[in-house]
Amino acid sequence: MGLSWQQGPLSAGALGRFLVPEPLPKRLLFVERLRRRMRVRFADRWIADSEQVLLLFEPARYPVAYFPEADVASGVLERTEHVTQHADLGSTSWYSVRADEQHIAARGAWRHTGLPAHASELQGRVAFAWRAMDAFYEEDERIVGHAADPYHRIDIRQASRHLVVSHGERAIADTRRPLVLYESGFAPRWYVPRADFDESALVPVKLQTFCPYKGLCSYYAIGEARQAAWSYPDAYPEVRRISGLVSFEPDIVTVHLDGVQLHLEPGQTVVPHGPDRNLDVAEIVRE
């Protein structure tokens, strides 16, 4: 995502490269102020509230929000004996998060206690385990999936390219009005209006994944090819233009764009994750 995920500049599979004479370290960490008010809720209680959150970008990981200890509610953190070693940031102490006697999240937070000098910005800061908490908010809107990455961008453009999808001998889709979605770290994805494909060819499968930037995703099989297509039936307002449209996986079915066959680019395999913190579909849509 953005800087550190998929093929971002800080990821192991970066698509581009830094124009410097000497190779950069294989692992580059980046931290900056989020510049948004962020809050954490646990057991019907606000346990952290800060406008001074730092966001840590680390290769192959989603961005992580670190709160100043002064902005965490008093008595919430209880240090445990559990200590781990971070490859770049040294010793890490883990905390239980206690809202009251009945609501305790074991190892629900951590703090780096052996930071090297060059990472002093994280001194005295606490991060909360995303799935151990009840909810994270920016202002009064819930953030689901992970801390929002300010470097993650999505652009959608109308195209008049000729997109044809087939599977074996069967024609699945034929359109000259696809939408193309450009998303940070990913190759372009082409979405087809429902009037331009054979809906009888798509069989819903029992799988839904969640994208923090687009919403809940449903999948379809085409013949024996499972997860050959997907759709966001009710995409977030920011990407509403793709709601109900369908995109096809070019390494599972055959997709031609202006006569050229498309293939999934190296490093583009998506690692899907389910609904955040065990929220069901209805709860996520409602939030």
* CA–CA–CA angle 261, 250, 240 (5° rounding): 115
pLDDT for the residue 28: 92
Q: Answer yes or no: do 174 and 244 share one domain.
A: yes
pLDDT score for 62: 85
Side-chain-side CA neighbours of 214 within 13 Å: the count stands at 25
pLDDT interval class at 281 (50, 70, 90): very low
How do the residues of the chain divide into helix, strand and coil, expressed in percent and rounded to 5? 10, 45, 45
Task: Single out the residue of 257, 139, 146, 113 nearest to residue 192, CA to CA.
Answer: 257
Per-residue pLDDT at 146 = 84
Q: Residue 269: what pLDDT? A: 61
pLDDT, position 218 = 94
> What CA–CA distance (Å, rounded) separates 194 from 253?
17
Is the domain of 38 the same as that of 78? yes
Compute φ and ψ for 239, nearest 5 degrees.
-125, 35
Domain that holds residue 93: 30-143
- What is the pTM assigned to this prediction? 0.85
For residues 186 and 135, state if they share a domain. no
C-alpha–C-alpha distance, residues 100 and 76, integer Å: 8
The answer to the question of residue 10 being in a domain is no
Residue 268 pLDDT greater than 80, yes or no: no
What is d(CA 137, CA 147) in angstroms, rounded to the nearest whole number? Answer: 9
Mean pLDDT, range 185-212, rounded to an integer: 92
Residue entry with tokens 């995920």: 5
The model's confidence at residue 201, banded by pLDDT at 50, 70 and 90, is very high
Per-residue model confidence (pLDDT) at position 209: 85
List beta partners, residue 255: 165
Tell whether 173 and 242 lie within a shared domain.
Answer: yes
Instruction: Give the model's pLDDT for residue 272.
Output: 55
Among 212, 160, 165, 209, residue whose Cα is nearest residue 184: 212
Number of domains in the chain: 2
The answer for residues whose C-beta is within 8 angstroms of residue 208's C-beta and 6 or more apart is 216, 217, 218, 219, 274, 275, 281
Query: 3-state DSSP call for residue 200?
Result: helix
Residue 274 confidence (pLDDT) above 70: no
- C-alpha to C-alpha distances, 214 to 13, 61, 108, 154, 191, nearest whole angstrom: 23, 19, 27, 9, 14
Which of 143, 163, 191 is where one domain is finished?
A: 143
Cα Rg, the chain, nearest whole Å: 22
118 and 178 co-located in one domain: no
How confident is the model over 32-53, as pLDDT tens digits? 999 999 999 999 999 999 999 9
Neighbours of 97 (CB within 10 A): 26
Q: What is the spatial order of strands in the sheet that 38-41 belongs to?
A: 46-50, 38-41, 135-138, 141-143
**Residue whose C-alpha is closest to residue 38's, from 125, 156, 161, 162:** 125
Residue range 132-152: mean pLDDT, rounded: 90
Tokens of residue 239, six digits: 């990407």
* Sequence-separated (6 or more) residues with CB below 8 Å from residue 272: 209, 217
Segment 258-285 shows an average pLDDT of 66
13 — pLDDT class (breaks 50, 70, 90): confident
Residues 70 and 175 in one domain: no
Q: pLDDT tens-digit profile of 153-172?
A: 999 999 999 999 999 999 99
Element (H, E) at 285: helix 281-286
Residue 147 phi, psi dihedral angles, 5° rounding? -55, 135
Q: Is residue 23 part of a domain?
A: no
Same domain, yes or no: 200 and 232: yes
**Whether residue 180 sits in one domain with residue 254:** yes
Q: Is 203 part of a structural domain of the chain?
A: yes
Where is the domain boundary, 124, 143, 162? 143
